[in-house]
Amino acid sequence: MTLDQALAFGLVGLTVAGFVWGRLPYDLIALAGLLAGVATGIVPVKAAFSGFADDVVVIVVAALLVSAAIARSGVVEDIMRPFMPFMKTPQRQVMVLVGAVTLLAMFTKNVGALAMFMPVASQVARKSGTSISQLLMPMAFGSLIGGLVTLVGTSPNIIVSKIRQDMTGQPFSMFDYAPVGLGVVAVGFLFLCFASNLIPKRKPGGAVGESFALDAYTAEARVPEGSSFAGRTVADLEAAADGDIAVRTVIRERFRRLEPAPALLLREEDDLLLVGEPEGIERAVARAGLTLVGEPTTQAGDIESESVVEGVVTPQSPIVGSRIGKLSLEAAHGVTILAVSRAGTEIRQHLSSVRLREGDVLVLKGTSETVPEALGSLKILPLAERSIVLGRNRRSFIPLGVLAAAMILTATGLVSAVAAFFGAAVVLLLLRVMSMHEAYQTVEASVIVLLAALIPLSEAIQTTGGTDLIAGWLSTALHGLSPLTSLFMVTLLAMGVTPFLNNAATVLMLGPIAGSLAVRLGLNPDPFLMAVALGAACDFLTPIGHQCNTIVMAPGGYRFGDYWRLGLPLSLIVLFVGVPLIAFVWPVMPG
């Protein structure tokens, strides 16, 4: 072993130890490792920052943006509506939600697919009384196995494709992973549907979409001329919002207040007082095509500057005792009031006629310039920030259409995956589906820095000849064993490392080693690269090995030791189903 090889292995070992230690952020540990690599000379200065321009990083960023745009469009909730009546029992809920997440994870980043359906799971659990811990972990594991099917489903597939390109000049294509991935998905899905009782019922430590301890908001919406809901009943409108809102009062002909009996027929120009959380009110307004009273009349149409916040009226506020309609907030401060929450009192009049009191909680809409100034001038205390969708109605199938176009272009080979998904992200931003500010919030800088720092560090092992050295050791250890047994061992090694490292880091380090091992054994490197991707993508044992496991930990109320209960048998399924499939689809012996 040369000095450079020893330094490369030492740095990688220290980096892994830092990840396991867990006292510092993963991205900081990776940056420290990269700095040490540059300082010792095993990472050339010119190559130190090449990871930020790597195709892997670009695809991951683009996939996260596209996933977030689909989630914000509300289309996922609309698509799931027909399935809601079927989801009466926990087993059916798991079946539908895991199936939906698994299917979506095949075509977009598995983290994004899971994030899209977590609010739906929260809604289902709240309405049915099912413990959300019974839903979220199977969904997280479903997103992981779903990501096995396509190139863009999970980071290991993307990285392995790049390693194959470096080795052979030809990357894996979009659906090269599908034969093995679909087999694992079929068996894994059946297991998850019937094994959720292995998960302890936990109380969430911070439920998805958890609301503040406030009374429900009251907002005012109008049935516009030509509305498809004119002539339909109050019950129809409440059902359109999945029962998450109630119509408190129907105001007709400006002053007539009608009790909202379920069978009451709505008319054009009726004003409706809707009660519920902002998400439910937005759902009713969007699906029924209502007009939200209080929307700003002068819109620049620039979502970049749009701002919707919650704030509580303080005792010192000059608007205490004033009617909302008399305040002229839009003209004076550039904001409008979309909804009011008042503890202990029902609001049954036009919002413009409501006299504000101290302690009222308001949903205010303005711009990033006007809202902070208005909050200060009006002595309104902003609440802890959460995503407010009311007043941001952008429901559209455009994100799904753009994603489908990117998938088709990639699958047909017309453009590369990096170009297709980069283009999809840019198109969505140009179409104003989401703002640049929202895009920056969506892309976690820590993930990008982690990947970008680990790529040149892992390449140092290869450039110093370290991968060939390890491959030689492994080939000696595996000498005399059957090719299938060697595949099992490589997959098992990847599965054993990734819970304590990171799936991307695992592939970056083990991928070149597995490829070199196959060459030394006189075998086809493709199945060995597939084995690394399979093992690294399937971390079901801990909450720290993959983001999908991490993001459900607090909402599901899980403990560290809960994961192996469901994860260990699923890992065995992946091992004993996936490896033989790899050997069958990708012949181990060179042809």
d(CA 128, CA 408): 38
Decide if pLDDT at 43 tops 60.
yes
Least confident of 4-18, 206-220, 375-389, 537-551: 206-220
Using CB atoms within 10 A of its CB, is residue 471 exposed (0-12), middle (13-18) or buried (19+)?
A: buried
Minimal CA–CA distance to 269: which of 321, 217, 331, 226? 226
- CB-based contact 390:404 (threshold 8 Å): no
Which among 453, 294, 315, 458 is positioned nearest to 365, based on CA atoms?
294
pLDDT at 211: 40
pLDDT on residue 384: 61
Tokens of 104: 């979506």
Query: What are the pLDDT digits (tens) for 570-589?
Result: 999 999 999 999 999 998 88
Residue 237 has pLDDT above 60, yes or no: yes
Question: How confident is the model over 542-548, as a mean pLDDT?
Answer: 71
H or E, element range at 79: helix 75-80
One-letter amino acid for residue 345 of the chain: T
Higher pLDDT, 388 or 309: 309
- Lowest-confidence segment of 5-14, 253-262, 387-396 by average pLDDT: 387-396
Q: Please check whether the two domains, 211-292 and 306-383, share a CATH topology.
A: yes
HEC letters along 28-46: HHHHHHHHHHHHHCCCCHH
Q: 113: which DSSP letter?
A: H
Average pLDDT, the chain: 83
Q: Given this model, what pLDDT does residue 531 score?
A: 94
- Contact between residue 361 and residue 339 where contact means Cβ atoms under 8 Å apart: no
**Residue ranges per structural domain of the chain:** 61-207+390-450+471-590, 211-292, 306-383
Instruction: Give ∠ CA 388-394-397 in degrees, rounded to 5.
Output: 135
Of the pLDDT bands very low, low, confident and very high (cuts 50, 70, 90), residue 99 is very high
Decide which of 321 and 468 is more confident.
321
The pLDDT tens digits of the residues spanning 469-504 come to 776 777 778 777 888 998 999 999 888 877 655 677
Reported as type and span, the H/E element at residue 306 is strand 306-313
d(CA 38, CA 414): 38
Question: Helices in 241-393 by DSSP H: which ranges?
Answer: 278-288, 329-333, 370-377
Between CA 452 and CA 324 the distance in angstroms is 51
Q: Is the pLDDT of residue 428 over 70?
A: yes
306-383 domain in CATH 3.30.70.1450?
A: yes
For residues 345-358, one letter each, b for 16 or more C-beta atoms within 10 angstroms of the residue's C-beta and e for the rest, the string is eebebbbeebebbe
Query: What pLDDT does 11 receive?
Result: 85
User: For 211-292, CATH number?
Assistant: 3.30.70.1450
Of the pLDDT bands very low, low, confident and very high (cuts 50, 70, 90), residue 302 is low
For residue 250, give the nearest of 240, 263, 287 by alpha carbon.
263
How far does the chain reach from its first CA to its final CA, in angstroms?
34
Please give the angle made by the CA atoms of 391, 394 and 397, to the nearest 5 degrees: 160
Answer whether 191's CB lies under 8 Å from 570's CB.
Answer: yes
Instruction: Answer whether residue 590 shows pLDDT above 80.
Output: no
Contact 112, 61 (CB under 8 A): no
Quick one: pLDDT at residue 123?
A: 76
- State the CB neighbour count (10 A cutoff) for residue 395: 18
Segment 320-372, tens digit of pLDDT: 999 998 988 988 898 999 999 988 788 889 999 999 999 999 999 888 888 88
Q: Is the pLDDT of residue 298 over 80?
A: no
| Structural contact between residues 15 and 442, judged by C-beta atoms closer than 8 angstroms | no
* Three-state secondary structure string covering 65-112: HHHHHHHHHCHHHHHHHHHHHHCCCHHHHHHHHHHHHHHHHCCCCHHH
The amino acid at residue 531 is A
Higher pLDDT, 187 or 518: 187
Per-residue pLDDT, averaged over 212-232, amounts to 83
Mean pLDDT over 409-423 rounds to: 79
What percent of the chain has pLDDT above 90?
28
pLDDT at 216 over 80: yes
User: Are 312 and 380 a contacting pair, CB within 8 Å?
Assistant: yes
- pTM, two decimal places: 0.65
Question: Does the structure show a pLDDT above 50 at 212?
Answer: no
From CA 556, how far away is CA 79, in angstroms rounded?
24
Mean pLDDT of 186-193: 95
501-536 confidence digits (pLDDT tens): 567 777 887 888 888 888 888 889 999 999 999 998
What pLDDT sits at residue 208? 40
Q: What is the pLDDT of residue 207?
A: 38
pLDDT, position 483: 87
